[in-house]
A and B are shown apart, each in its own frame.
Chain A
């Protein structure tokens, strides 16, 4: 394929010289980190040996704090190196794919947009995002970033209050302009109930979520994978045409992951669960490895292909 060949050339001529410089930095950082780990390990061992066993509290807290400090210092030491890799390498891979795609390593899709999608029913108390991309593919505006959202669960045990953070979403969050106008909100969520309980699951789903009612669609495979809730039965079907249902199914298979979609304000919000941290550098292996660098491009292609996959550039309706 020509894009593969072009990227190989781009890698050799443009990325590799910079990667070699960054890789020298990696080796330095690597040595520093190994030294920090060694020092931290020695310090923890000494603390355990030297702190008298009567001071039980200290024996637990001090080694813990030392370990934590070691971790923080490791992060600080490698921060510039990670930043340089993202600014010099990932930004240029993004430019190679599409010049109009703007990459902000520390940016994120907005918390308001995340909330507006209403994909996750649990209240979000902690929201973090990185690796934000924004651009226009054909006639479709698109933005996406990695997102981690957590819910704070507070439990009371007598007078003690314990806060625990539960991850409600970790993965990629994509926002794309949809090709049709619509007024109501439609949710397409992974169908856990029907997969687990079959027909009984369907009954469970029909309870609905507040103002949204279950929308039963005629594609059995789609119904098995997803559960649709909409405020308007007709508009939900206007969005989810038989063709779009097939496309969403294919897109889900492509990612082989849990995917949720929300259609609101004439936009589509897509949450793809993922444990892998994308667009990150590595410390203990050389960076000048073509496959490692090319993987970033493959992920970017996979994400941006959503526009083609869901046929978002087709504008045969009244929306420009």
Chain B
């Protein structure tokens, strides 16, 4: 009888350790993924001044747009922002960047400029890396949220005061399906 009780205690102890470690690992994965989003955002901030410099000599009608994106970058880099404010600013920066790249179509000289083309490539790359890191963050959060809500790990999670985390909104433009009609 004593052995049985001991076995149950050992088993329960093992389950607790496994659940605890697995929750910690999942939380760390989420933090890690969030850090990679941050890295990509910084890359984006670094590219904005270079972009503004490259296009301001050509663009006459988009001065306000260039001014706005420069201001948004300064605000995004300031520390006293709430999460929600930051998301709004990021969304606005993304939209402005896209608008600038569309406006380039009206300036053939700029479109032919090799330095600008390289910069455009770097921006496209960073935007796609940013999208990828957001998706990686969402995947990590989904795994974490499942663990927080599913029995028995939810019991441990509530003891550790872990709560559901919010997913990033993936912009519609990143969900667009490619036109693969020639394949069918």
Contact = CB atoms under 8 A, between A and B. Distances in A.
B153 to A, nearest CB: 14
A218 interface: yes
Interface residues of B, number: 29
Contacts of B122: 318
A148 to B, nearest CB: 28
B131 interface: yes
A246 B177 CA distance: 7
Contacts of A241: 128, 131-132
Interface string B116-139: 001011101100110111011011
Interface string A175-209: 00000110000000000000000000000000000
B178 A246 contact: yes
Contacts of A152: none
A296 to B, nearest CB: 21
Contacts of A236: 132
B125 A218 contact: no
Given A243-B178, A246-B178, A309-B183, A317 B125 contact: yes
A243 B136 contact: no
A251 B183 contact: yes
Nearest to B39: A234
Contacts of A233: 33, 136, 139-140
Nearest to A233: B136
Contacts of A318: 118, 121-122, 125
Interface string B134-178: 011011101100000000000000000000000000000011111
Contacts of B131: 237, 241
A235 interface: yes
A180 B178 CA distance: 17
A316 B124 contact: yes
A217 B131 CA distance: 13
Contacts, number: 70
A234 B178 CA distance: 21
Nearest to A315: B121
B70 interface: no
A171 to B, nearest CB: 20
Given A218-B135, A234-B133, A238-B132, A243 B177 contact: yes
Nearest to A180: B125
Contacts of A181: 125
A254 B183 CA distance: 7
A246 B180 contact: yes
A303 to B, nearest CB: 14
Interface in A267-320: 308-309, 311, 315-319
17 contacts: A216-B142, A216-B143, A233-B33, A233-B139, A233-B140, A234-B129, A234-B132, A235-B132, A243-B176, A247-B178, A250-B180, A251-B183, A308-B182, A309-B183, A317-B121, A317-B124, A318-B118
The 8 A-B residue pairs whose C-beta atoms are closest, nearest first, are: A237-B132, A238-B132, A243-B178, A318-B121, A233-B136, A317-B125, A250-B183, A234-B133
Interface of B: 33, 36, 118, 120-122, 124-125, 128-129, 131-133, 135-136, 138-140, 142-143, 174-178, 180, 182-184
